[in-house]
Amino acid sequence: MEIIRIPRIVRETSRIHRSRGRSVGFVPTMGALHEGHLSLVRRAKAENDVVVVSVFVNPSQFGPNEDFEHYPRTVENDLALLEHVGVDTAFLPPVEAMYPEGFQTVISVGALAGRLCGAFRVGHFNGVLTVVNKLFNIVQPTRAYFGQKDFQQTVVIRRMVEDLNMDIEIIVCPTVREEDGLAMSSRNAYLGEDERRAAPVLYRTLTRAAEMIRGGDTTPEAVVRVMHEMLRSEPLVTEVQYAGVYDPGTLDSLVEFRRTTLLAIALLLGKTRLIDNMVVERVAKN
Ligand code: AMP
């Protein structure tokens, strides 16, 4: 596995692969890698000739009071995992290489970025899109892989790719969970023992809500009420930022169920912010 820190060199390497007809699969990450990340890498390996993984904790997607400084950084372990799964190139740019002096261009998305997480993390999705756009220009992938875990992120990235006519296939992979249902996340490392025990409340709530929807004879209002009740019944939950039923395309709250429903939650468990979601298909009844 090659470890490259200089954007120009990654771009040159990719250019050579593409000119020889090889497909390049790309998995952008912020490191502190876990099985969720590795599932994306394995899929990229299965579908492409060459796989590039970036590890970059992107400062522009963190708010001033967020955890940029404390975000877990486990580079040695990350590199060992990437080597083990057979990645071709690990791209680890320093912040100065991505945001050199004088940097001032940003990608900004419209209404989608203000919904759900965007309402609580102002500017977050502009930071995400700007760095993903930069990474796409550097890596020039054939396909890029993202996790459903960050559902809104996949929606804004697909929007950018379509709006800006980018020639990249976006592939969204299922959320990988711990045995008790907790979605794997680098931020789970922040959880204390009691918080970790309480954390599956997100998955339990999503599962219960999905059952209600699949069972029919319910309304969005009733489902949202049950979701809030379940989350509030966990004493370690300090704030429910949102919990509800949404249109997976527009991210608008649903007033009546259609074929596909996005269930999504963001909350604080102690001081740790956790998100999770589930997409539910309603089978039409005759
Ligand atoms: P991050 O390092 O948190 O920025 O995540 C990098 C990529 O891995 C994103 O596309 C995430 O959606 C994806 N990812 C993170 N956690 C999981 C998970 N538990 N299952 C599947 N994909 C994940």
pLDDT tens-digit series, residues 40-79: 999 999 999 999 999 999 999 999 999 999 999 999 999 9
Query: What are the pLDDT digits (tens) for 204-261?
Result: 999 999 999 999 999 999 999 999 999 999 999 999 999 999 999 999 999 999 999 9
According to the model, what pLDDT value does residue 42 have?
Answer: 98
Which residues make Cβ contacts (< 8 Å) with residue 137, sequence separation at least 6? 11
Amino acid at 163: D
Residue (of 127, 149, 114, 11) closest to 66 by Cα position: 127
Which residues make Cβ contacts (< 8 Å) with residue 258, sequence separation at least 6? 247, 282
Task: Evaluate: CB of 175 within 6 angstroms of ligand 1.
Answer: yes
According to the model, what pLDDT value does residue 210 have?
Answer: 98
Can you tell me which atom of ligand 1 is nearest the CA of 184? Answer: 19
Is 264 in a helix, a strand, or coil?
strand
How far, in Å, is the centroid of ligand 1 from the Cα of 165? Answer: 25
pLDDT at 192 over 90: yes
Query: What are the pLDDT digits (tens) for 21-44?
Result: 999 999 999 999 999 999 999 999
CA distances from 111 to 94, 126, 181, 277 (A): 31, 12, 31, 20
Structural contact between residues 55 and 162, judged by C-beta atoms closer than 8 angstroms: no
Domains of the chain by range and CATH?
2-173 (3.40.50.620), 186-281 (3.30.1300.10)
Query: What are the pLDDT digits (tens) for 117-142?
Result: 999 999 999 999 999 999 999 999 99
According to the model, what pLDDT value does residue 285 have?
Answer: 59
Task: Evaluate: CB of 134 within 6 angstroms of ligand 1.
Answer: no
According to the model, what pLDDT value does residue 284 have?
Answer: 62
Task: Evaluate: CB of 146 within 6 angstroms of ligand 1.
Answer: yes
